[in-house]
C-alpha cells in the first residue's frame, strides 16, 4: 500500500517515513509518544480494553500494553507500517504467547463501525490532516462511530498535531468534536513548542473526573516504568496539561464549519499550512492558549479540596507562562548566557506554582553546570530552588555535591 522505510541518521535516531515523504514518527520522540498513551490511560479508573487508531512507530500502543491488566488493540491502514513498527518497539518486553498489543491492518473508520467490541479507552493518533484520507478521521460521523464503541465511563482521546494545523482548521475539528461530545475537554500531550500536540478528551456518560479515583489509579497502575518516569509525578502533573473545558471549546469553535463526510473542510483546508505556513507552531500554541481557559469545577466532580484546586489553577497558569517564556529563549552551550536569559523568567514561573516541575528541572541542571564555573552563583540559585520547593530533594543533593568538591 505504500513504500515504508525506517531511516537511521548518524546520531542513531530512527525515523519512520511513508513514500519517502511523510514522517510518521521518530525514536527521538519516545517520551512524547508514551505520554499520548499514558495520559488518557490514567484518566480511566480501571480500563480493561483499549483501542488505538493509527500505529505510527507503535510506541504509543506498546506503552499502554505495558499495563498488564489491559487488553490493547491497535489498527493501522498500512501493513508495512505494522511491520516497520517492530524496529521502534524492540525494547518493550514481550509477555506470554499473545501479542501485546494486538496489531491489525485495517481502515480505522471501517474497523470502528464494524467491530462489535466495546472499549474503556479509545486513543486516536494525531493524523497529519493534509495526508490523503486523514481528514475523514476528524469528521462528525467518525466521532459518532467512536462514541458507539465506548463502554460506560469510557475515555476517548483524539490527538491533534497543532504544528500541522492552522487555527481555523482546528476550529472546525473542535466544533465537529463537541457536536458529538458537548462536555469534552482539551489537554496538551507535552510542553513542546515546536511540535505541540493537543488532545480532545471525552467520557461516555460522565461529566467530570473523580479526583479520588484518579489518585487511586496513579498509585495502583502496574507499568514497567512508573508514570513519574514520563513526568506524571502526581495528580497535578496528570491534570496539569488540561487547557480548556466545554465552555471554552464551544467559544473557540464558534461558527466554524463542521467537518463532515459530505463537507470535508479539513481535507481541503489542511494542505495550505503545509505549503504556505502563516505562523510558527509555538506562536499558534501561545495564541490558542490565550483564547482558552478552564476552571477545576469544569473538570472534576465535587468533593475536591479548595486549597488543592487553587494549586491546580496555579499550575495551569505557570504552564502557560512557561510556554510563553520558552518562545523567547534560545539554546546555547554557555550556561552563564543561558541563565542570563532564562533564570529570572523560570524562577518567576516557579513562584507562580512551586509544583510546576518543568521549570524546576532546567534550573537544577544549569545550577549543577554552573557549579564548575561559579560555585557561589550556583549555591545562590540552588538555595532559591530549595526555598521555593523544599519538598523536592534534588537541589539539596546538588548543593551537598558542590560542598563536597569545594577545596
Q: What are the start-end ranges of the H helices in 87-191?
A: 108-114, 140-149, 167-180
Laid out side by side, the sheet with 71-76 consists of 102-105, 71-76, 49-53, 119-124, 150-161, 197-203, 185-188, 242-244
Tens of pLDDT along 148-168?
A: 999 999 999 999 999 999 999
Q: Is residue 95 over pLDDT 60?
A: no
Q: Is residue 98 over pLDDT 60?
A: no
Domains of the chain in sequence order = 4-296 (3.40.50.150), 329-405 (no CATH)
Mean of the pLDDT values across residues 54-60?
A: 94
Q: What is the DSSP string of 303-318?
A: T--HHHHHHHHHHHHH
Could you tell me which of 55, 119, 115 has the C-alpha nearest to residue 89? 55
Q: What is the DSSP string of 3-36?
A: -EEEEE-TTS-EEEEETTTEEEEEGGGHHHHHHH
Residues 6+ apart with CB under 8 A from 146: 112, 122, 124, 156
Tens of pLDDT along 33-49?
A: 999 999 999 999 999 99
| Secondary structure of residue 257 in the 3-state scheme | coil
**pLDDT at res. 404:** 81
**pLDDT at res. 99:** 65
pLDDT above 90 as % of the chain: 85
| Secondary structure of residue 124 in the 3-state scheme | strand
Tens of pLDDT along 248-257?
A: 999 999 999 9
CA distance 337 to 339: 5
Q: Nearest 5 degrees, angle CA 20-CA 272-CA 5?
A: 10
Residue 160: CB atoms within 10 A of its CB come to: 25
Mean of the pLDDT values across residues 50-67?
A: 95
Confidence of residue 91 (pLDDT cuts 50, 70, 90): confident
CA distance 389 to 264: 50
8 within 8 A of 87, measured Cβ to Cβ: no
Q: How far apart are the first and last CA of the chain?
A: 66
Mean of the pLDDT values across residues 303-324?
A: 96
Q: Is residue 94 over pLDDT 80?
A: no
Could you tell me which of 178, 223, 215 has the C-alpha nearest to residue 312? 215
Q: Is residue 171 over pLDDT 80?
A: yes
Highest mean pLDDT among 125-139, 226-240, 270-284: 226-240
Q: Is residue 273 over pLDDT 90?
A: no
- Mean pLDDT computed over every residue of the chain: 94
**pLDDT at res. 133:** 86
Confidence of residue 96 (pLDDT cuts 50, 70, 90): low
Tens of pLDDT along 184-233?
A: 999 999 999 999 999 999 999 999 999 999 999 999 999 989 999 999 99
CA distance 236 to 305: 13
Please give the model's pTM, rounded to 2 decimal places: 0.94
94-99 own/partner pairs: CB under 8 Å, 24+ apart:
95/68
**pLDDT at res. 19:** 87
Beta strands in 225-289 (DSSP E): 242-244
Q: Is residue 354 over pLDDT 60?
A: yes
Q: Is residue 406 over pLDDT 80?
A: no
Q: Is residue 97 over pLDDT 70?
A: no
Residues 6+ apart with CB under 8 A from 99: none
Higher pLDDT, 160 or 331: 160
Amino acid at each position: 500500500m505504500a513504500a515504508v522505510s525506517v531511516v537511521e541518521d548518524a546520531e542513531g535516531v530512527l525515523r519512520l517515513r511513508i513514500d519517502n515523504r511523510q514522517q510518521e514518527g521518530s525514536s527521538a520522540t519516545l517520551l512524547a509518544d508514551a505520554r499520548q498513551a499514558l495520559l488518557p490511560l490514567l484518566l480511566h479508573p480501571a480500563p480493561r480494553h483499549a483501542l488505538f487508531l493509527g500505529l505510527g512507530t507503535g510506541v504509543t500502543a506498546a506503552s499502554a500494553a505495558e499495563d498488564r491488566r489491559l487488553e490493547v488493540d491497535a489498527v493501522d491502514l498500512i501493513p508495512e507500517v505494522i511491520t516497520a513498527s517492530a524496529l521502534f518497539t524492540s525494547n518493550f518486553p514481550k509477555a506470554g504467547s499473545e501479542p501485546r498489543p494486538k496489531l491489525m491492518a485495517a481502515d480505522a473508520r471501517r474497523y470502528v463501525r464494524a467491530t462489535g467490541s466495546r472499549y474503556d479507552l479509545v486513543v486516536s493518533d494525531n493524523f497529519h490532516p493534509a495526508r490523503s484520507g486523514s481528514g475523514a478521521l476528524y469528521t462528525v460521523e467518525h466521532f459518532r462511530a467512536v462514541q458507539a464503541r465506548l463502554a460506560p465511563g469510557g475515555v476517548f482521546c483524539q490527538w491533534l498535531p497543532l504544528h500541522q494545523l492552522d487555527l481555523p482548521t482546528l476550529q472546525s475539528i473542535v466544533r465537529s468534536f463537541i457536536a458529538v461530545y458537548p462536555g469534552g475537554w482539551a489537554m496538551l500531550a507535552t510542553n513542546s513548542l515546536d511540535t505541540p500536540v493537543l488532545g480532545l478528551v471525552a467520557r461516555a456518560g460522565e461529566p467530570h473526573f473523580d479526583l479520588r479515583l484518579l489518585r487511586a489509579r496513579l498509585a495502583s497502575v502496574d507499568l514497567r516504568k512508573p508514570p513519574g518516569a514520563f513526568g506524571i509525578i502526581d495528580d497535578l502533573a496528570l491534570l496539569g496539561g488540561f487547557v480548556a473545558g466545554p465552555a471554552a471549546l464551544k467559544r473557540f469553535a464558534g461558527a466554524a464549519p463542521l467537518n463532515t463526510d459530505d463537507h470535508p473542510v479539513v481535507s481541503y483546508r489542511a494542505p495550505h499550512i503545509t505549503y504556505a505556513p502563516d505562523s510558527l507552531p509555538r506562536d499558534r500554541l501561545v495564541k490558542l492558549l490565550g483564547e482558552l481557559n478552564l476552571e477545576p469545577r469544569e473538570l472534576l466532580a465535587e468533593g475536591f479540596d479548595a486549597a488543592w484546586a487553587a494549586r491546580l489553577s496555579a499550575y495551569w497558569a505557570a504552564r502557560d507562562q512557561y510556554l510563553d517564556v520558552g518562545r523567547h529563549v534560545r539554546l546555547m552551550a554557555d550556561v552563564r548566557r543561558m541563565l542570563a536569559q532564562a533564570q529570572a523568567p523560570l524562577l518567576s514561573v516557579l513562584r507562580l506554582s512551586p509544583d510546576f516541575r518543568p521549570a524546576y528541572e532546567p534550573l537544577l541542571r544549569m545550577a549543577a553546570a554552573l557549579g564548575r564555573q561559579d560555585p557561589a552563583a550556583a549555591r545562590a540559585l540552588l538555595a532559591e530552588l530549595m526555598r521555593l520547593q523544599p519538598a523536592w530533594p534534588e537541589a539539596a543533593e546538588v548543593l551537598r555535591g558542590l560542598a563536597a568538591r569545594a577545596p
